[in-house]
Amino acid sequence: MEASVHILFFVLTWLACAILYLSHRHQGWLAQPLAATPWRAVGAALLLLALGCGLAAFSAITAVFGWLMLLMLAFSVLPFFSLWIKRMRREQQA
């Protein structure tokens, strides 16, 4: 049970960050960003759910620290995936 909550904490945090990133107008993954109105609310709800999972699996200070570090890592790394996606598209066209 504990391991599944740890994995859920990790996956929900990354999924929420990806949804929030994809709803921004400067995202580079999709041709058009996701609609801001429903998707940003979904991303925020998933972030809170992930924090709840973290609080269930870890002590409070550990959960908040890990959650904030995952947010920082995700929002730093996600924009760079657009470079990889563009490279894959170029290779498929060639």
Tell me the per-residue pLDDT of 29-48, one tens digit each, with 9 for 90 and over.
Answer: 888 988 988 999 999 999 99
pLDDT in tens, 57-87: 999 999 999 999 999 999 999 988 888 877 8
- Which one, of 15, 10, 20, lies nearest residue 67 by Cα? 10
Dist. CA 90–CA 42, nearest whole Å: 32
pLDDT score recorded for residue 1: 60
- Residue 15 near residue 53 (C-beta atoms within 8 A): no
Dist. CA 49–CA 36, nearest whole Å: 20
Dist. CA 10–CA 70, nearest whole Å: 8
Domain extent listing, the chain:
1-92
